[in-house]
Amino acid sequence: MVKLSAIQLNSKANVEHNLRVISEQLAQLTAAEPQDNINHIVVLPECCLFFGANDKAQLHLAKSTSTAQSPKNNVLQQAVSHLAKQYQVTLIAGTIPIVTDEGDKFTNSSCAFNSQGELLGRYDKIHLFDVNVEAVEGNKKNYHESRFTQAGKTTCLVKTPLANIGLTVCFDVRFPLLYQQLTALGADIITVPSAFTRVTGKAHWQTLLQARAIENQVYIIAAGQEGKHENGRETWGHSLIISPWGEILACLEKGEGTISSDYVPQEIKRIRTSMPLTHIIET
């Protein structure tokens, strides 16, 4: 049996603090597991190692943690790789800022590591959060993620002995074609690390995630940031694990913590056989 987990965080603008909290949560998740039978997929939220500051600070962090020997494998990736190996889990590192070749922007990258700490795949967030939310939230908050973030261009399916995992990030959930493409590539599970705003989360978060699970007949693991952050931003939390039938298997509404559920691949086969949905997509 494979275990699915999401860790909900209230990340700070302090990498060391966030790494310590993630390590504590992973220790609790894996404390009762037999070390000779590790089958565990864990998802962290978007901006898991640094949140609560502006995007310019994220760019500075990406630059300062890049290494000359391997600029695409920065110090932040190495730290999460160490955690995956230490706790022997397949770890989807929410997102990590990685500086672009030009050095003027960073990618908001979801990185997947196996239980040996090896990088399995990296997905750069495609759909950036450039939104005027005045009409939506009743205030003058605006988000312009593309100012310092370079959008990704390609999908990413990570094939593991446990399952095929499609990687997405936060605002991507509003774009069903991406999820259809990942399913056509063979996804069994799709991960959605997020930092949804409180108001849009309350309105749409669960509905969108259930829709993506139902229409693609996949497990969804959505790990969120939650609470009020140092820059005043409020995130929705409500981390979820959803079945291929759209059932809520686990939910953590508020606070930092973890949720878990079992992954049953036979359930995907049963649902897809009973109700075939054909995806006719160019990938």
We report the CATH number of the domain holding residue 172 as 3.60.110.10
Range of the domain at 206: 2-274
Q: Is residue 197 part of a domain?
A: yes
Is 20 within a domain?
yes
Residue 110 has pLDDT above 90, yes or no: yes
When pLDDT is cut at 50, 70 and 90, the band that residue 97 belongs to is very high
Residue 99: what residue type?
A: V
Whether 281 maps to a domain, the answer reads: no
Averaged pLDDT for residues 202-206? 97
pTM for this predicted structure: 0.94
Alpha-carbon distance of 190 to 259, in angstroms, equals: 16
- Residues annotated as part of the active site: 46, 125, 170
Residue 193 lies in a domain: yes
- Quickly state the pLDDT bin for 67 (edges 50, 70, 90): confident
pLDDT on residue 13: 97
Please give the pLDDT value at position 281. 46
Give a yes or no: residue 154 inside a domain.
Answer: yes
Query: In this predicted structure, what is the pLDDT of residue 75?
Result: 95
Looking at residue 282, its pLDDT comes to 46
Sheet holding 239-242, edge to edge: 157-159, 164-167, 189-191, 219-222, 239-242, 248-252
3-state helix/strand/coil string of the chain: CEEEEEEEECCCCCHHHHHHHHHHHHHHHHCCCCCCCCCEEEECCCCCCCCCCCHHHHHHHHHHHCCCCCCCCCHHHHHHHHHHHHHCCEEEEEEEEEECCCCCCEEEEEEEECCCCCEEEEEECCCCCEEECHHHHCCCCEEEHHHCECCCCCCCEEECCCCEEEECCHHHHHCHHHHHHHHHHCCCEEECCECCEHHHHHHHHHHHHHHHHHHHCCEEEECEEEEECCCCCEEECCEEEECCCCCEEEEECCCCEEEEEEECHHHHHHHHHHCCCCCCCCC
pLDDT in tens, 224-267: 999 999 999 999 999 999 999 999 999 999 999 999 999 999 99
In a domain, 130, yes or no: yes
Is the pLDDT at 145 greater than 80? The verdict is yes
Whether 282 is in a domain gets the answer no
Number of domains in the chain: 1
Angle ∠(258,211,45) on CA atoms, nearest 5: 30
pLDDT at 76 over 90: yes
Domain-embedded: residue 158: yes
